[in-house]
Amino acid sequence: MSRGEMASSDLSMILPRVLIVSRRTVRKNKFVDFVGEYHLDLIVSYGAVPVIVPRVSGVHMLLESFEPIHGVLLCEGEDIDPSHYDAELSGFSPEELEEIRKVHASDTSIDREKDTIELRLAKLCLERNIPYLGICRGSQVLNVACGGTLYQDVEKELSKKVPEEQRVAHMDYENYDGHRHVIKVLKNTPLHQWFKHSLEEDEMEMMVNSYHHQGVSKLAQRFVPMAFAPDGLIEGFYDPDAYNPEEGKFIMGLQFHPERMRNQDSDDFDYPGCPSAYKEFVKAVIAYEKKLNRSESVLKAPKLNQELEKKRRIIVKSFSIARNMYSSGGGTGQESELQVGAEFLEVSFYEFIDRDRYDLFMNLDAPLECICM
Angle at 196 between CA 193 and CA 199, to 5 degrees: 145
Report the C-alpha gap between 254 and 135 in whole angstroms: 5
Residue pair 15/49 in contact by the 8 Å Cβ criterion: yes
Residue 93: CB partners within 8 Å, gap ≥ 6? none
259 as an active site residue: the answer is yes
Report the C-alpha gap between 170 and 181 in whole angstroms: 8
- Say if residue 68 is preceded by a cis peptide, omega within 30 of 0: yes
Report the C-alpha gap between 132 and 277 in whole angstroms: 11
The dihedrals phi and psi of 41, each to the nearest 5 degrees, come to -60, -45
37 as an active site residue: the answer is no
Report the C-alpha gap between 196 and 185 in whole angstroms: 10
Q: Which amino acid is at 341?
A: G
Report the C-alpha gap between 13 and 208 in whole angstroms: 37
Element at 115 (helix H, strand E):
helix 112-128
Residue 88: CB partners within 8 Å, gap ≥ 6? none
Catalytic residue chosen out of the listed positions 181, 235, 257, 274: 257
Report the C-alpha gap between 237 and 141 in whole angstroms: 13
136 as an active site residue: the answer is yes
Catalytic residue chosen out of the listed positions 157, 259, 280, 289: 259
Catalytic residue chosen out of the listed positions 75, 125, 136, 274: 136
Report the C-alpha gap between 285 and 279 in whole angstroms: 10
DSSP letters along 28-88, please?
TTEEEEE--HHHHHHHHHTT-EEEEE---TTGGG-GGGG-S--EEEE---SPPPGGGS--G
Give just the sign of the alpha carbon dihedral 168, 171, 175, 179: positive
Report the C-alpha gap between 60 and 99 in whole angstroms: 32
Give the active site residues.
136, 257, 259
